[in-house]
Structure 1
Amino acid sequence: MDMRPDPFVPPAPLPRTVPPSRLDIIRIILRNPLELWGEPSYTLPWIKTSFFGQHTLIVNDPGLIKHVLVDNAANYRMSDIRQLVLRPILRDGLLTAEGQVWKRSRKAVAPVFTPRHAKGFAGQMLRQSEDFVRKYENVDAAGHIFDIATDMTDLTFAILAETLFSGEIVSSSGHFADDVNQLLHRMGRIDPMDLLRAPSWVPRLTRIGGQKVLEKFRAIVRDTMDMRLAKMKADRAAAPEDFLTLLLEQAGPDGLTKAEIEDNILTFIGAGHETTARALAWTLYCVANSPHIREAMEREIDAVLATGAEPVEWLDLMPVTRAAFEEALRLYPPAPSINRAAIADDLWTNAKGEKIEIPADITVLIMPWTLHRHELYWEKPRAYMPERFLPENRGSIGRFQFLPFGAGPRVCIGATFALQEAVIALAVMMHRFRFDQTESTNPWPVQKLTTQPQNGLPMRVSPRTISRKA
């Protein structure tokens, strides 16, 4: 008899059973694109459809995903809607650049994010996490309520600022998380003009309020660049050997333009921590509703910390903690859609000999949101079950079945960085504190570039009484 408790099923939109009208599609996309998808998106390997006259192929089949993102990636460019949303914010940053501009940027930043180099950040991640949890030190046994969505944004920003910028981001704002939320709320949404493929110069009324926040971010980037350049000019040896210095040294006719450097810095400040922050918040929420998983994590964390193991080793030494985070990435992928468009006609044949024609200019939607909850590929797809990702089980998960960091040439360059950061942060927090839901904890996932809890994520933080020892 299986004595395990029933797994927690966290909140998410149910698959639609009736196709929405054109007007409904506009309303849903403006409100929350995650609510758009119907049963076929969660049960079929691919679907051909049409949105506002634009033919679209929705892809869930791992083999076809591999074909689009890896085997024939050169035939697929960024889709128009994706670029209409993101380019006004990031311009020629790594997430939005294409062609030679993307190749230059990728080559410039790659050395910082090799697995060996990323592991060198572990000590800084640990120190920033320990500094951050001091905000919880004065809570009594009854606990205190914090907005964990905001807290995780603050924590991951602190880690990013220290690891990539040596703490030298010029920002006078004490409300960085609020600024990020405003930027994503105002600028990170699809506008009706995007659906109509209107040129970028046509005003997007939904984004007017975000321009001020965007200019604030760009001013921070420019001030940060100027301060570091002045330091490098005064005494190059005194300048930190970090991501910022590396990028600035790429300036020149054979490297990056000043505008491209600014765009990449903004990309990493604005988006480099946001994805991890959202996944951390969802992890703490799901774990709070899965007591047996939380207890297993606490035992593991306490045991590893008791050995004095260096933080660079924690990712390998804490498989339960990593699995808990990866399962949250599955259910709430920070990047819920990967958008491409075919450049030329293409053809793919599956293992059964079925041929899928992919005409030029068709939009190809690879949806981690639906792929990660797909009935063909996951047992109890809506349930929070971290055991899927334990070492003895993860071999059954196909490479193109789980795409929290994408795949192919444009795979997320910071994947190792993010996984290590998440495990270290969770270990520091859960070693000393417990995070529980409250009567007001009722998160609803919404897509605003990232998958985030609508109206925040209030949780009760209380000190742990550590009585368990390995």
Structure 2
Amino acid sequence: MDAKPAPFIPPAPKPRTKPPSTLQMMRIVYKNPLELWGEPSYNEKWISISTGIGGPLVIANDPRLIRHVLVDNARNYKMARVRQKILRPILRDGLLTAEGQVWRRSRKAMAPVFTPRHIHGFAAPMLARSEAFATRYEDNAGPVDIARDMTMLTYDILAETLFSGEIAGEPDNFARQVDHLFETMGRVDPLDLLGAPDWLPRFTRIRGRKTMAFFRQIVAETMAMRKQRMADDPDGVPNDFLTLLLRAEGPDGLGAAEIEDNIITFIGAGHETTARALGWTLYCLAEATWERDRVEAEIDAVLAAEPDPAAWLDKMPATRAAFEEAMRLYPPAASISREAVEPDRFEDLEIVKGAQIQVMPWTIHRHRKLWDQPEAFLPERFLPQNRERIDRYQYLPFGAGPRVCIGASFAMQEAVIALGVLLSRYRFDTVAGTRPWPVQKLTTQPEGGLPMRVSRR
């Protein structure tokens, strides 16, 4: 019998063995926050420190503490200041950044779109867009950047499902603008870490203003197009996410600015997390060919017997497991930040008012007390027979609590359908010498992209 191959260990920063100076810390946080975390973050239940540049900081790794902060006592924890300073200039009062009544209004308005019935109804257009996208590889000769391609695919799916294909602008230009947006406005600015007043210009974001204006213009044109169609043909307008938001406008619903902000949130960021996770999944499978063989065999069997893509998620456990394991190793959202509104206590941990709480999926997903071989790509840990060993609050690709990602089920279905189509037709192999480096820029992105060769199976 052949010996089981050693698991693939994807590239990632090594834990730091000594704390950085304040200057080093600011430089690391700006360049790549994933390189900041030291050995204690991967071994301890929690760490409470005084950073010297932003007040007390608690790094929460214990699933029970995470539940306390995000669920049981969620009312005492608001969005952290530094996180809001990064995201609010982009998303304003979109679902990811809004708080209080504004957030509740938006969440309530969007909820009907993300019910299981609606999500299953999205399966057919997800399949159609994935099949149309896959044709680009028919005559492909050289390497392609799979990271960029997955951004395009998930944009196509989002545009078709939530906006019925009616988003203004050109998709290719859109992908370039997303990259520039995250490169500029999607980074922590050193002035934010220092608590500098808002009126001081953040030079890291000045470069992104033109890109931000591009997105706002796309949204304005998209809204105008749909409003005109609603006026001209109220019975024929698609009952999608865009129409739902526009119909929610009014004194008892959403304001016009809130609608615009939520459209920006979904167009600019709603597809990006799934795109990153798909890219990392294809990369890990290309390096762990024995895992890829298992996934390909499963996909072939299911596609031969099950024409309904809405059923694939439940019938492709190995494919789903590979995607979930890629999200463990490369969580699309690598950090969840909160701030204590009032003093709090968890066991022997004192949390002072104003303390910054960092729930880090990046370190929690690689924590040595929570996972066996945490640095290895082992999809089997997410197979149905093994899932019960994973605590709900040690695996957080979509967050948890009241602010859990509203599109989590949408993203899981989308990912399995996309992988089913792509891997049934093509084999994805890494280019010699490719060793992508994960960098945190809002999402966990591969520095330099994911150059891969795509060939017919």
Alignment-mate amino acid for residue 108 of structure 2: K
Show the counterpart of 1:364: 357
**Does 1:219 pair with 2:220?**
no
> For residue 13 of structure 2, what is the aligned residue in structure 1?
13
In structure 1, the partner of 2:280 is 282
Query: 1:125-144 maps to which residues of 2 (within 5 A)?
Result: 125-139=126-140, 144=142
Q: Could you report, residue by residue, the CA deviation over 1:11-42 in whole angstroms, capped at 9, with x for unpaired residues?
A: 00000001111110011111100000000000
Whole-angstrom distance in 1 between the partners of 2:335 and 2:19: 20
Could you tell me how far 1:66 is from its partner in structure 2?
A: 0.3
Letter in 2 for 1:187: M
User: What secondary structure is seen at the aligned counterpart in 2 of 1:434?
Assistant: strand
Secondary structure of 2:6's counterpart equals: coil
Pairing 1:197-346 to 2, within 5 Å after superposition = 197-346=195-344
In 2, the alpha carbon distance for the partners of 1:197 and 1:230 equals 45
Helix, strand or coil at the partner of 1:193: helix
Distance in 1, matches of 2:447 and 2:102, equals 35
Q: 1:2 to 1:77 in 2, by over 3 A?
A: farther
Structure 1 position 175, deviation (Å): 2.4
Quote the offset at 1:116 in angstroms.
Answer: 2.3
Runs of 4+ in 1 over 3 A off after TM superposition: none
Q: Which residue of 1 aligns with 2:456?
A: 463
Alignment match of 1:419 (pick from 391, 412, 425): 412
**What is the percent sequence identity of the aligned residues?**
63
After superposition, the C-alpha distances for 1:225-265 in whole angstroms (9 at most, x for unaligned) are 00000100111111111000000000000000000000000
Between the aligned partners of 2:14 and 2:362, the Cα distance in structure 1 is 12
Partners of 1:440 and 1:458 within 8 A in 2: no
Deviation of 1:172 after TM superposition, in Å, equals 3.4
Deviations 1:292-348 (A, max 9, x none): 110000110000010133000000000000000000000000000000000011111
Q: Distance in 1 between matches of 2:77 and 2:95?
A: 17
Cα distance in 2, alignment partners of residues 309 and 346 from structure 1:
52
Give the secondary-structure state (helix, strand or coil) at the position aligned to 2:370.
coil
Q: After alignment, is 103-112 or 201-210 more displaced?
A: 201-210
For each residue in 1:71-97, what CA deviation from the matched residue of structure 2 results, as whole angstroms up to 9, or x when unmatched?
Answer: 000000000000000000000000000
Task: Assess, with a 3 A threshold, how the Cα gap between structure 1 residues 173 and 280 changes in structure 2: closer, same or farther.
Answer: closer
Q: Secondary structure at the match of 2:376?
A: coil
Aligned residues: 456
* Corresponding residue SS for 1:69: helix
When normalised by structure 2's length, the TM-score is 0.98
Aligned to 1:169: 167
Q: Distance in 2 between matches of 1:157 and 1:420?
A: 15
Code of the aligned partner of 1:184? F
Please tell me the root mean square deviation across aligned C-alpha atoms, in Å.
Answer: 1.1
For residue 96 of structure 1, give the secondary structure of its aligned residue in structure 2. Answer: coil
CA contact (8 A) 1:70 1:408 kept: yes
So what's the TM-score if we normalise by structure 1? 0.96
Q: Indicate the residue corresponding to 2:124 in structure 1.
A: 123
8 Å Cα contact 1:77-1:341 kept in structure 2: yes
How far, CA to CA, are the matches of 2:277 and 2:54 in structure 1?
35
The match for 1:467 is none
Match of 1:384 in 2: 377
Q: CA deviation at 1:53?
A: 4.5
Specify the SS of the correspondent of 2:201: coil
Amino acid at match of 1:372: H
**Any conservation in 2 of the 1:144–1:462 contact (CA below 8 Å)?**
no
**Alpha-carbon distance between aligned partners in 2 of 1:330 and 1:173, rounded to the nearest angstrom:** 29
3-state SS of 1:403 partner: coil
Out of 379, 398, 403, the position equivalent to 2:396 is 403
Match of 1:286, SS state, is helix
Distance 1:304 1:31 in 2: 43
Partner residue in 2 for 1:73: 74
- Given residue 290 of structure 1, which amino acid in structure 2 is its aligned partner? A
In 2, the alpha carbon distance for the partners of 1:314 and 1:100 equals 37
- State the SS of the aligned residue for 1:237: coil
Aligned-pair CA distance for 1:118: 1.1
Deviation (angstroms), 1:2: 9.1
- Cα distance, 1:115 vs structure 2: 2.1
Greater mean alpha carbon deviation, residues 258-267 or residues 308-317: 308-317
Specify every segment of 5 or more residues in structure 2 that has no aligned partner in the other structure, as ranges: none
Which has the higher mean CA deviation after the structures are superposed, 333-342 or 201-210? 201-210
Name the residue aligned to 1:33. Answer: 33
